[in-house]
Each structure stands twice: as C-alpha cells, then as structure tokens.
C-alpha cells in the first residue's frame, strides 16, 4: 500500500490546512523522542535538532503537547524542562491544560464510574476488581505490570500499564467480566527490555512483546485529546496530531491532520488503521528524524 507522506514544503490545500495549526499534540517515545531523550537523533547520536525545532515551533506560536502512556510524574518533568505548556498522560486519562507551579489538570474516565473526592484514584478502583491479579496469575512469563508499582515515578493514577505476549482476546474477555467497563489498549511493540522482567523472551531482541494499558472504556488518546481540545477552547483544525502506533491513529479522528511515523508501518494493524482515515500523512523518516522533518514542513507552510 502506498501512503501520502508529509512533504518538506507543503503546497495547495495542505499548506492552507497546516497554516491553521496552533497546537501539535504528539506521542512521545518512538515519535518525538528516541530512547526517551531529547538530545539524540533516531540513530541515538548526540543531536540538537529536536530541541532547536521545539524552539522554532514556539517562536512560530505553535504549542507542543505530549500525549503519552507515561504517568504524571514522568511527563510533567519532561514538560517542565522542555517548556511544554501542557500534557496528556496515561493514554488520555490525565489532562493538564496548564503546566505551571499550580497546574490545571483533570481526570478523564470515559464511561467508567468514578466519583471525584472518593479518596481513591481510578487506578485504585480498577485494581480493586481483582482482575489484574487474575491476569498475572493466568499468564506467568507472558504478562507483567510495567512501570506500575505505585512508588515514585512508577505511580499511576488511571490506567494499569502492562507488557507481554498473552492472547489479547482472552485478556479482553476477562476484562469484560470484571464488573467495570474496561478495555485493553495496545501501545505498541517492545524492541528491547532493560531492568527486571518476568517475561520469557530474548530481552535484547524480544519478539511479539507489546506494551498495554488496561484502560477505562471511552478513554483513549483520541478521546482524551477531544476533551483536551474542548478544555483548551480549540477547534480540531487547529491541531496536528502525531504517533507511531496503530492505537495512536484514533488521534486522527480528533484533529485536523495526523502524522503517522513510518517506523509504525510494520505493525500488523497499521494498514487497516491508515486506510480507514483520509487525514493521515506518513513521515519520511523514522521516529525523531521523521518528527523533526514534519515539523519543519509545518513551519514552512506557515512562512
């Protein structure tokens, strides 16, 4: 399948569309960042192009909002250091419309019942169903929690983060019978595993290992962005989205234009998701290099 790529110098209708963009809402790892770093290129070599591009976007009046599966502690520090004016964490479950010493933020739980002020986080409510423990017991060596131990930078508030190669349809069936409206969100493939892991795989070159989020029904990066856009008083055509996973393609439904990173084309569901939408452009390069090239194209359209 051929794809329309993000041009170096947009013209015609696309240029007119991109001139309206005031916000870039983007996935972080594998899209804007490589190796969770802002000072390297896609090859992992020292490079200042991403930081320089962020500066140029700010000068052009374009705000960059990271949208990620990371939790608040992790993405808030990225936002503070890199000057992002807001962020979307936990797959759309935590929305910050103003990054400051007193940030403005909201939980977003979609169709999952949740009472503000109950003294528990949405994550607590999910865990109390017992379904997470049941899943871990059913698939030892094939499913584990990931950056989700309730301590420090691994403290999560809405979604339960997991990774593994357990059968997704069977996981979803367990979630369907847990008493809460939940679904399994695929957040992309794992290309290496560092640190402790219970998974039975080659950690240097894992095959078929996905990262997942057990997520309240109605919550996704796409619906989280819809809510963020509402809270920020934006129109969809003022937003450019970006991501590298087929799951990220739901962002395209909430924005005027969506950038899909070419490093995500190898995913088994990529072609289906791209074919279902007409506002997606594919990057010409992988990850950070492709993101930077597309943002330069956006800036060229605004000249």
- For the purposes of burial, counting CB atoms within 10 Å of the CB of 256, is it exposed (0-12), middle (13-18) or buried (19 or more)? middle
What is the domain-level CATH number for residue 253?
A: 3.40.50.1000
In-domain check, residue 7? no
In-domain check, residue 114? no
72 within 8 A of 157, measured Cβ to Cβ: yes
pTM over the 0.85 mark:
yes
pLDDT at position 247 = 84
Question: 206 and 229: one domain?
Answer: no
- Tell me: the pLDDT tens digits for 265-274? 998 899 999 9
Is residue 202 very low, low, confident or very high in pLDDT (cuts 50, 70, 90)? confident
Q: Which of 200, 216, 232 is the last residue of a domain?
A: 216
**Beta bridge partner(s), residue 37:** 34
Average pLDDT, the chain: 95
- Residue owning tokens 């095959």: 207
CA distance 78 to 112: 29
- Residue owning tokens 């696309």: 14
Q: Is pLDDT of 187 > 80?
A: no
Q: Which of 216, 236, 266 is the last residue of a domain?
A: 216
pLDDT at position 192 = 85
Q: Which of 155, 183, 216 is the last residue of a domain?
A: 216
Element (H or E) spanning 291, and its range? Answer: helix 287-301
The token duo for 175 is 């979630």
Question: 164 and 190: one domain?
Answer: yes
Is residue 124 very low, low, confident or very high in pLDDT (cuts 50, 70, 90)? very high
H helices of 96-249, in order, are 122-127, 131-138, 168-176, 221-232
Q: How many domains does the chain have?
A: 2
Counted residue by residue, the chain has a size of 303
160 within 8 A of 213, measured Cβ to Cβ: yes
- Tell me: the pLDDT tens digits for 129-160? 999 999 999 999 999 998 887 877 889 999 99
Residues 6+ apart with CB under 8 A from 70: 28, 78, 89, 90, 147
CA distance 104 to 243: 25
The domain of 61 spans 12-108+221-301
Question: 43 and 100: one domain?
Answer: yes
Question: 228 and 198: one domain?
Answer: no
In-domain check, residue 4? no
């Amino acid at each position: 399948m051929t794809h329309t790529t993000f041009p170096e110098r947009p013209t015609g209708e696309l240029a007119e569309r991109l001139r309206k963009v005031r916000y870039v809402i983007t996935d972080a790892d594998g899209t804007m960042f490589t190796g969770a770093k802002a000072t390297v290129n896609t090859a992992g070599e020292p490079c200042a192009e991403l930081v320089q591009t962020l500066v140029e976007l700010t000068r052009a009046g374009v705000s960059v909002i990271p949208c990620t599966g990371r939790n608040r502690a992790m993405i808030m520090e990225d936002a503070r250091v890199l000057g992002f004016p807001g962020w979307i964490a936990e797959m759309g479950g935590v929305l910050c419309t103003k990054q400051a010493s007193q940030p403005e933020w909201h939980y977003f739980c979609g169709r999952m019942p949740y009472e503000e002020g109950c003294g528990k986080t949405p994550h607590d409510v999910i865990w109390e169903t017992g379904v997470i423990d049941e899943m871990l017991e059913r698939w030892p060596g094939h499913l584990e929690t990931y950056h989700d131990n309730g301590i420090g930078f691994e403290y999560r508030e809405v979604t339960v983060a997991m990774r593994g190669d357990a059968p997704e349809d069977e996981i979803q069936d367990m979630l369907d019978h847990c008493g809460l409206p939940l679904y399994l969100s695929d957040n992309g493939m794992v290309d290496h595993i560092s640190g402790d892991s219970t998974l039975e795989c080659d950690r240097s070159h894992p095959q078929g290992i996905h990262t997942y989020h057990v997520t309240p029904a109605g919550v996704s990066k796409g619906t989280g962005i819809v809510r963020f856009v509402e809270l920020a008083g934006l129109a969809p055509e003022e937003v450019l989205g970006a991501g590298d996973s087929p799951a990220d393609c739901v962002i395209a439904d909430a924005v005027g234009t969506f950038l899909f990173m070419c490093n995500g084309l190898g995913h088994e569901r990529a072609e289906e998701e791209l074919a279902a939408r007409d506002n997606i452009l594919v990057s010409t390069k992988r990850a950070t290099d492709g993101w930077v090239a597309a943002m330069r194209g956006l800036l060229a359209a605004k000249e």
